[in-house]
Amino acid sequence: MAAPTALIAEDEPLLAQALRQALAQCWPELATLQPATNGHEALALALGKLPDVLFLDIRMPGHSGLEVAARLGEEWPAQRPFPLLVFVTAYDDYAVQAFERAAVDYLLKPVSRERLTVTVARLQGLLAQRAASDQEAHLERALAQLRALSLPPAGQTAPRLDFIRAAVGNRVRLIALADVLYFEAADKYVNVVTADGEALIRTSLRELIPQLDPRQFWQVHRSIVVQAGRIQGAQRDEAGKLWLSLHGRPDGPRLPVSRLFAHLFRQM
């Protein structure tokens, strides 16, 4: 059996090197790759090297650790076991409890040798279980963990929207939520798509989602939220990727569904 591999993503070189050295002492069999210094690099290296374990700093330039994890959930090759995720964070106990509920491990900065030893033992046990278990079941558990991490923290609420004030050229258009087919992230804006046109709002999709009724609007991709009642059907292409067609825009583009949200379209 090949030695397990790990990638450390940390934008502070001294912390990355300290963690790498500590892992070498706690887990000599583990081969650590050259650390990634930002989120973009972490994503590229993870998809290029396909490590068994990822140590992801929560706050990094480019993409956060959570964003890297979500992107990997969408882009990781199906034939390869999904990596075990350890988040490295300076967050307070409230945030740590959220990571525990999502069933992923975490390390608080500065990382202590005692806590790292516990993490290593847990990772070794999980890798042994993974080798003896069904890979598809492991992937589903990993995707469920990533979906849990993408939810707003417990107790966080936002007023529900009934209308959207969006820009169309130099005009401001008032759009009823019932008329929205889908929202699509576009750089620092969100594109609001209706049956008769498109408009932009100056917000992020992450800020918008807590203001939408989750029974009515489903996130189907990291950049797309669709009104469930407007979905005409879901179809897989030859590569196995899911695509949605919508009522109200039969000639419009089909919308991709990422692996992270494909469970929404399983047969009941």
pLDDT of 21-39, one tens digit each? 999 999 999 999 999 999 9
- pLDDT of 120 reads 95
Residues whose CB falls within 8 Å of the CB of residue 34, separated by 6 or more in sequence, listed in order: 45
Q: How confident is the model at residue 20 (pLDDT cuts 50, 70, 90)?
A: very high
Greatest CA separation for the chain: 63
Q: What is the pLDDT of residues 52-80, one digit of tens each?
A: 999 999 888 888 888 888 888 878 887 78
6 — pLDDT class (breaks 50, 70, 90)? very high
Residue 108 scores a pLDDT above 80: yes
Q: What is the pTM of this model?
A: 0.72
Q: Residue 69: count other Cβ atoms within 10 Å of its Cβ.
A: 27
Instruction: Count CB neighbours of 151 within 10 A.
Output: 14
What domains can be seen in the chain, in order of their start residue?
5-150 (3.40.50.2300), 163-265 (2.40.50.1020)
